[in-house]
Structure 1
């Protein structure tokens, strides 16, 4: 299936689905979800898959495993709304191979879109490994740092400690060291990218550019194991 682009109909469905908050409403409009949300994501994944397997041959590329569920898991949240008003894809390894896997993502929501690389929620052990590798100037980190500092598309993010745990380190290292979670994202506060048929090529270029950082995060997961 080729990628034909997202449209405002996708956002309209997602918003109305959350507003109605009803399984009956969703079931009666499932064909709209399939046409405007699910199928475009399948087409996007299909076009991205060859590039993603070049980045890492172990990345999953089966659409049904990569597209966000339309219904929310409300077991552990205060917000008990059944449906979300955004949707996304992730490329990551099978969790049986890497339980805390970094992932590439693209997300579309009511205010725009974003794409990038990182953890949804990094394990404390992963962040501890990362800090040790940074402090030891691990070659994978040196490549990742060079990658990040040589571009201006992606911005580092993730919750930071209120007080630096490494006050004597250079500022460019502290922005990695002092985080509880870490990701690298490009955010669009409009729909020019999400609605563009050039989206697959832009994501291919962006994800390929992030490859040294991805390889570092994979090395973090395997560190001392």
Structure 2
């Protein structure tokens, strides 16, 4: 069973209705249009992600590898009951969602996207990533090559002022991130609604395997003390020369 235009329409309508009574009345539509296609896609991607890392968890159930459509809004300003985005995620321990890197896929009303990265990388992880970049670690070079060839966007909030102004722009694009993920936005709805979707996403995951290995290497390094970049010293002319 594939996603369809009705899948996206249901997610939008459910968010706009913002009503548990309405959702309960249309729960069977949710199951057929949204949940079942996501379950099948998650299961289809399982062999690929397990081949990349056998420790990744593949559990095609809602609340496990698959997101819930009901929002937990207890600690948010937005009190909407339902989201219009659904996703599946593959990581080593779901309890550590803000910890280990993950592969993911998600659908939105205007597109779908997928990739590999962190929801929120820890400070020690980012320090290890920067250290590997600065010394041109071979694992980083393989990850950079995969990023360039795969057509993924490097995402994640950046510091407003670069901490590494002397580094080449390409490296600063990595070094100045507070967190990091590699994402591909897709607007091909014919692909989204077809049986080719799982193969397409699986191929993208395989392209990102070197990036995932780079992240795991950073995780394995443990705490790293970052060297603070030295400020550039501008020679001053003697006073008598002014």
Regions of 4+ moved over 3 Å: 95-99
Write the distance in 1 (CA, Å) between the matches of 2:188 and 2:197: 14
Whether 1:51 and 2:51 are equivalent positions in the alignment is: no
Distance 1:70 1:99, change over 3 A: closer
Q: 1:44-97, CA deviations, whole angstroms, 9 ceiling, x for partnerless residues?
A: 111111111101101111112111111112123221101011111111111468
Equivalent pairs counted in the alignment come to 221
Instruction: Name stretches of at least 5 consecutive residues in structure 2 with no aligned partner.
Output: 224-242
Write the distance in 2 (CA, Å) between the matches of 1:18 and 1:74: 14
What's the counterpart of residue 195 of structure 2? 197
Equivalent pair of 2:102/2:116 in contact (CA under 8 Å): yes
Write the distance in 2 (CA, Å) between the matches of 1:97 and 1:122: 11
TM-score by length of structure 2 reads 0.86
What's the counterpart of residue 116 of structure 1? 115
Distance 1:143 1:61, change over 3 A: same
Larger radius of gyration: 2
Equivalent pair of 2:45/2:198 in contact (CA under 8 Å): yes
What's the counterpart of residue 107 of structure 1? 106
Write the distance in 2 (CA, Å) between the matches of 1:12 and 1:220: 41
Shift of 1:152: 4.6
Write the distance in 2 (CA, Å) between the matches of 1:69 and 1:201: 24
Deviates more, 1:171-180 or 1:184-193: 184-193
Root mean square deviation of aligned Cα? 1.7
What is the DSSP-based 3-state SS (H/G/I as helix, E as strand, rest coil) of the residue aligned with 1:49?
A: helix
Write the distance in 2 (CA, Å) between the matches of 1:69 and 1:96: 15
What's the counterpart of residue 27 of structure 1? 24
Shift of 1:189: 3.2
